[in-house]
Amino acid sequence: MTTDLKGWIGGSAILASMCCLPSVIWVLFAGSSAIVAADQLSNNLYYSWVRWALYATSLLMLSYGLILFFRSKGICTLDDVSRERRRVINTTLATFTISILFYLVWNYVVLEVAGIAVGLPWEDSAFWN
């Protein structure tokens, strides 16, 4: 992977986790007085249509990054794509796999542990319970 795709992968994974990240940041800066409100914000975003909108936007962002990446490599037309089919498929599958793995680790490990550490009541719903 080149540096171009790393930014798109990281950005799309962080965008997909925006239903939990604002709550952690809010409690981090506002202190324990914001725990209940931040937890409610996280629940409202995660259990509504917003989570699916973030997933869709993240998918579009990653697709756009792949288009830019392939165009920078000289793969601009459908004929170029058919000639470089194996490279396009392998790069696309690797990019989406890495992005999904990064999202899972970032959202369900890093943010969950950080949220529990700042006082959010997420321990009962943690994936390891």
Q: 112: number of CA atoms within 13 Å, CB side?
A: 15
Alpha helices in the chain (DSSP H): 3-16, 21-30, 35-46, 49-72, 78-83, 85-105, 111-118
Query: 24-72: per-residue pLDDT in tens?
Result: 999 888 888 888 998 899 889 989 999 999 999 999 999 999 999 999 9
pTM assigned to the model:
0.86
The count of other CB atoms within 10 Å of the CB of residue 112 is 20
Confidence of residue 106 (pLDDT cuts 50, 70, 90): very high
Q: What is the DSSP letter of 73?
A: T
User: 75: phi > 0 → left, psi -120 to 50 → alpha, else beta; which?
Assistant: beta
Query: 60-75: per-residue pLDDT in tens?
Result: 999 999 999 999 999 9
Check if the beta carbon of residue 50 is closer than 8 Å to that of residue 19. Answer: yes
- pLDDT mean across residues, the chain: 90
pLDDT at residue 33, rounded to an integer:
81
Judge residue 17's burial from the number of C-beta atoms within 10 Å of its C-beta, 0-12 exposed, 13-18 middle, 19 or more buried: buried
Q: Which CA distances in Å does 50 have to 42, 105, 112?
A: 11, 20, 19
Confidence of residue 121 (pLDDT cuts 50, 70, 90): confident
